[in-house]
Chain A
């Protein structure tokens, strides 16, 4: 069974541009979570989607947004990129709403120049 997949693996952008990151959950998983892992800061929760709805949002500005598609895959969009947005963006999925265990993808490393 395929795990959580993310694309692209690496993304280089310049300040002010927009970035789109994609995630496909494990088959049968309905919940998708996005995290930002900046150097030395651990994982910071960004967004949680379940059944196409945004269920929760972390303490990030509105230029971080996303959506979940009918097939449960998800996109994370970051507008007006800033240098400090450079980080590893991790997507995770869980089997059900409020699923206890999350399964992580390999991440997208975003570099903003």
Chain B
């Protein structure tokens, strides 16, 4: 089974609204990353948060990490049609092989 699982599977919002997607994982991690994928193309790295960090910001993106709940959230504020994509979380397990484990993604559609 996947280490990281995103929720919801799909999200449809209007431009200007905020989008929140969540990632839950099973084992202790060194870090968690969020990636974006536009319509079956390559993934683009968005943000990395380490296990000793609780929140990070990058432009309109805000990521939180709660290691006690083994969960992370990605908030996109003031969404734009160009934010339409699939979003994946990837976890690097503690004591693992340094291979990030990806979830199945959240498909975000932002309507203009």
Contacts and interface: CB of A to CB of B under 8 A. Distances in A.
Interface of A: 4, 33, 35, 40-43, 45, 48, 56, 58, 88, 90, 92, 98, 100-107, 109
A27 to B, nearest CB: 17
Interface in B11-40: 31, 33, 35, 40
B99 A33 contact: yes
25 contacts: A33-B99, A35-B102, A40-B104, A42-B102, A43-B43, A43-B88, A45-B99, A48-B99, A56-B99, A88-B40, A90-B42, A90-B43, A100-B31, A100-B33, A100-B92, A101-B33, A101-B48, A102-B43, A103-B45, A104-B35, A104-B42, A104-B43, A107-B40, A107-B41, A109-B40
A42 B42 contact: no
Contacts of B92: 100
Interface residues of B, number: 22
A42 B33 contact: no
Contacts of B104: 40-42
B40 A42 contact: no
A109 B40 CA distance: 9
A36 to B, nearest CB: 11
Interface string B41-67: 111110010000000000000000000
Contacts of A33: 99
B69 to A, nearest CB: 22
A42 B88 contact: yes
A107 B42 contact: yes
Nearest to B9: A40
B3 to A, nearest CB: 10
Given A90-B42, A101-B33, A104-B42, A42 B105 contact: yes
Contact of A98 (B42, B43, B48, B98): B98
B109 to A, nearest CB: 17
